[in-house]
Chain A
Amino acid sequence: MDSTFLKSASRTLIALLFAIIVSYYFFRSEKFWIPLATLLVMQTPIGSELHHGLQRFLVMLASLAVGSFLVLFVQQKIVIDILVLCCFLASAYFYKDENFILSLGFLASLLILITVLLPYHSLQMRAYAVTVGSIIGMTAKVILFPARPDVEFRKRIITLLKAYNNYLLTIKQLLLREPNAESQALQQRIIVETILLKKAPVWVYQSGFNFALRQGHRYFFIMVERIGQLLMTLHSEARHEFDGEVRQLLSTPFNQYVLHVGELFAVIESILSLKKETLAWNDCAEDITAMENAFNTTVTPSLELLDISKDYSTFAALILDLKDLRDVLLKLLEALQNT
């Protein structure tokens, strides 16, 4: 269990407890709405707490108004219930975390459903309760163990980069046909995929993300994602059954390349961890040249004839991907050194 989860859980529990106390003493007729509003405004992404909290609060108010209107003015209650239930199920079906409109649509239909199903007292009282609950939630989110997007971003990127480096090592083993390399590469790929799904700092793409950090973090994350994509295509190229001579020629420069890329990963991680030590690194230019030379000795210089053999085109794709990987890493390093 990591500290971010513990902080988030403690914050939510404290806010919820406070919301329950307030609703018990001050809003007995609408006591359900304060904790609900508190919980809903707290489910916002890192770095855009106020922006998204405010949006959710406004959606809650609008949903209350729509729900109350339906209860008061539509005579057949069963029709409303079925209609709202259908809306709720449809929005739940299409719900996506990352899609802003769909997630708000889901929230709105859920609230309208609750408004319609619960006994109706007063729209005004409900609006007060939602406002108080939202204030409690947003205040808790900002004051209690506030999430620091820059620290969280660096932590998550380091986790990703470590997984990438391990993945590249298994790709190297696969290319050089070491024993069990295929299963190890697949295992490492699944680890990378899981981190991308669960730990990647996707909130940098959210509208309303911290204005000061937005541009730099987005640029950095795009580059880091690109590394993952390049590694996945390198995996497919390493799987290719190269001619023995080609593999032999590639062996030494590719080993050197992976070693040097490992150094680049280590330097980037060290800067992101705010360590003072300076690590030595190599820009892999010589390794790339050595691989290009190996390519030129085995392949005809005419690109026109590349389609004769899949060996050659895969070899060319491999070198191009390795070049791009190097470029991306150097750009990341440059960006970090300039900040």
Chain B
Amino acid sequence: MSIITDDVRRALVTYVIKFVGDTRPIGKKAAQKFVHLVEDAGKVQTGYDFTIYTYGPFSRALDSELDSLNSLKAITVTYDKNRSSFEIGPGEDADKIISRGDAYISENKSAIDRILSALKGKSGLDLELYSTLIFLKSHIDDLNTDSEVVDKLLSIKPKYQRNVVERTLVEAKSLMLA
């Protein structure tokens, strides 16, 4: 059974946003991918269930949590009309919210930081590729070999090139193994 309480879950998401969005805000999709990667690549339970769509792994509960964290001033979610996208960064009460999950975050800090450091600054498209490959490796029952994973990814996301997918899979596997 998941041991994640509301406070811990919110602290963890706020920690992730602060880590990757401290100098430059990130988008809503990127926030989804970072939390997913902490869960499936870092093997740190986040308390969210992700489902795969054409745009990669996505959690509805996390989507609404971002709004709630905005109300709690843990993060800021602002809409940039010029770029037609949401921008997310740490809020004025981020540290207060993070402190409520201190014990859990400290316990898993090395795994969380390792994933976030490795992927911070990557484009949304790159994060989507990492996140989808790691989701396929972690959750889809009938994929036994690397080439099956690559084929499956290309079948559901034809926008990527095979050589890019193959190269990213090698890196994704190393992230999962470390």
- Bind each other: no
B contacts, CB < 8 Å to A: none
